[in-house]
A and B are shown apart, each in its own frame.
Chain A
Amino acid sequence: MSLPVCATPLQRAWYYGFRVICGLIFFFLIAPILVIIPLSFNAQDFFTFTKEMLNFDPAGYSLKHYRDFFTNSDWQIAVRNSFKIAPAATLLSVAFGTLAAIGLSQPHVPFRRAIMAILISPMIVPLIISAAGMYFFYSRIGLQGQYIGVVLAHAALGIPFVIITVTATLVGFDKSLVRASANLGAGPMTTFFKIQMPLILPGVVSGGLFAFITSFDEVVVVLFVGSAGQKTLPWQMFTGLREQISPTILAVATILVAISIALLTTVELLRRRSERLRGVTPS
């Protein structure tokens, strides 16, 4: 979409005008996330830029909100819980999800469409409905307020992401490799771990990342299925935002933004690797 050499003034105006509009939309997308980063270094307990900050006076900046985050036991317990729950949930959804995705990618699966619809539904059903249902049901079977209950609930929420990413990788998977391996005498297990698994690994890992972030960032279900003992980081942020906004939240938010940048980079690298493996030039 380059500007033609013989563009009329109107076309020229539209060309630049359109770019300005898009620039503003990009600004809308990214600015809220970037604004909180400097604000998290505020020396005051304010949510806006102080005069000192605008004048770049070092006295206007401080690390005290970060210090609060790392020393406050409420936040530290929440972080620990998050790191206990998310990996367990991820492991469950990746293990079950990968197997099922491999099963679903075979040519003859009975009720494929219906099974797929059920497996994807945790992503589509509004979280409040899942949370309400799980709250009632898990109370009945004694899992409400238990660590294992939250892990199971989060695993269920992560499964659609694993299914979607792994299925996408399997679409480009060359079945003749499996046949070749079997032909050369490898058993199904060897074939799976030596041939199939390394090739679909990027999909599995990015599905796992999605599942991890789903659990790590999830708050509605954990509010209902968990109890104070399973208080996670998002839970602590949510109650913090609802009851009294403490500036520590901005420090936490900044740390989480850094984590998401790292994750974004990982997923992007994995995507490129998988495309390279499939012989597509990475775009």
Chain B
Amino acid sequence: MTERTQPLLAADGTPLKRSIQRSLRRQKIEAFLLVAPLLAFVLVTFVAPIADMLFRSVENQIVAQTLPETAEALKAWDPERSEVPGEAVFAALAADMKTAVKNKTHTRLGSRLNYEKTGVASLFRKSGRRIKKWDLAEDAPFKEKFLDLDKKWGDPELWQLLKLYSPAYTSGYFLNAVDLKQTPAGFEPRAESEQIYILLFQRTLFMSLAITLMCLLLGYPVAFLLSHLPTRTSNLLMILVLLPFWTSLLVRTSAWKVLLQQEGVINDILVTIGFLGDADRLQLINNQTGTIVAMTHILLPFMILPLYSVMRTIPPSYVRAAKSLGANDLTAFAKVYFPQSVPGIGAGSILVFILAIGYYITPELVGGTTGTFISNRIAYHISSSLNWGLAAALGSILLVAVLVLYYAYDRIVGIDNVKLG
């Protein structure tokens, strides 16, 4: 045969290869069109807010916006020399402050800078009232007037701070979140009394690990028992695991609050059986004990369910084989059964740890001051101290930690293998 074989043709006369490609492409587009509405929805309602928060952790327009000319004038000033800047900067400041006072934005800037250096808020408030009466044309030079007004204006540190926060983006919030601060000389640890975040991150990690460990210790035997009982019995007992899982989080937290109080059920029982005197009731709540106990209870089903689904797939004949080859119960468990249950341990532990590390409600209600997590601090900065940039920076660090764990979980378990109920 010298002639080239004709390409295979589909029914409509187009080459089969192209026809398949076209239909494949159409399938892809169809599938994507089904997913697209949801993807757009999640991007707008969920991903964009998170991105916005990440942006807030480095955004810092407030100095440049409130005091634009001062920020410009400060560019020429060398913070290393630790001198108060010259008249030009003060003149710019006077002009900026007058506008700021008119727009009432100077107090906001003051309270923002107060996060970095205490006393700035009151300085700005106080100066604002006086500067309002100044005349920009006649009252020059301003340097003396500012120093008369308050000698804090003669503090080089204040000017270093202003210069540091003049650019539109800052690493200041992130540094603050890890207890560092930026000085002209570089990064420095904050004063010891201000170092709270590293400790808080450590505590969050430590308590999440403790909770994960407790869940594993309590969940393993239960999952083991459930996977070995006849189906009928295990389904019945499973209800005892699923009921807490389905019960409102706030119900469970209030239950623990009621149980653990000093006048609560557990202390009452201990007093009644004579284990404790009425005077020395245990402090079980508003501390780490409260958080660990309540969260172990809340997250335990998240450990039991993955463990159970893995253990159900372990063939019992392996353990029997090990025993018939002369292994005793303990060896058979340690060498044969346990290694096969490790995937379940990994899945359950990562899941519990991810959920624990970001918990807010339970630590807030039963944690007191020593049992709170980083989440509680983030909430505090959003709703009480209004230091949103710092809240965003703390949140970003937490988010990165969770995403790393999420990636690990996806690798080990596969995110679409999550089972519910």
Contact = CB atoms under 8 A, between A and B. Distances in A.
Interface of A: 1, 11, 14, 18-19, 21-22, 25-26, 28-30, 32-33, 35-36, 39, 46-49, 92, 96-97, 99-100, 102-104, 106-110, 115-122, 124-138, 140, 152-153, 155-156, 159, 161, 164-165, 167-168, 206, 210, 213, 216-217, 219-220, 224, 234, 237-238, 241-242, 245, 249-250, 253, 256-257, 260-261, 263-264, 267-268, 271, 283
Contacts of B375: 126-128
A132 B391 contact: yes
Contacts of B254: 36, 237, 241, 245, 249-250, 253
B28 A133 contact: no
Contact of A260 (B53, B240, B246, B256): B246
A46 B45 contact: no
Given A126-B357, A217-B248, 20 more contacts: A18-B225, A22-B222, A26-B222, A33-B252, A35-B259, A35-B265, A100-B35, A106-B27, A108-B27, A109-B35, A119-B39, A126-B399, A210-B420, A237-B250, A249-B254, A250-B258, A253-B250, A253-B254, A256-B247, A264-B239
B221 interface: yes
Contacts of B418: 120, 164
B149 interface: no
Interface stretch (B2-10, B228-236, B339-347): B228-236
B91 to A, nearest CB: 35
Contacts of A108: 24, 27-28, 31
A236 to B, nearest CB: 10
B243 A261 contact: yes
A283 B231 contact: yes
Interface in B281-335: 297, 300-301, 329
A257 B251 contact: yes
Contacts of A250: 254, 258
Interface of B: 24, 27-28, 30-35, 37-39, 41-43, 45-53, 56, 218, 221-222, 225, 228-229, 231, 235, 237, 239-244, 246-259, 261, 263-265, 268, 297, 300-301, 329, 354, 357-361, 364-365, 375, 378-379, 382-383, 388, 391-392, 395, 398-399, 402-403, 406, 410, 415-416, 418-421
A129 B41 contact: no
Given A128-B379, A213-B246, A32 B360 contact: no
Given A35-B258, A106-B31, A253-B255, A260 B248 contact: yes
B395 A132 contact: yes
B229 A1 contact: yes
B221 A18 contact: yes
Contacts of A156: 41-42, 45-46
Contact of A241 (B24, B365, B395): B365
B364 A242 contact: yes
**Chain A contact residues: over half helix, strand or loop, or mixed?**
helix
B151 to A, nearest CB: 38
Contacts of A152: 45
12 contacts: A48-B258, A99-B35, A100-B37, A103-B33, A109-B28, A117-B415, A133-B395, A136-B392, A137-B48, A234-B250, A264-B243, A271-B421
Given A217-B250, A241-B365, A260-B243, A127 B358 contact: yes
B25 to A, nearest CB: 9
A108 B329 CA distance: 49
B148 to A, nearest CB: 41
Across the A-B interface, the 8 shortest Cβ-Cβ residue pairs: A126-B358, A103-B34, A133-B49, A1-B228, A137-B49, A100-B38, A133-B53, A32-B255
A74 to B, nearest CB: 15
A130 B50 contact: yes
A206 B421 contact: yes
Contact of B263 (A47, A99, A109): A47
A127 B49 CA distance: 12
A125 B42 contact: no
Given A30-B243, A49-B265, A119-B42, A136 B388 contact: yes
B244 A224 contact: no
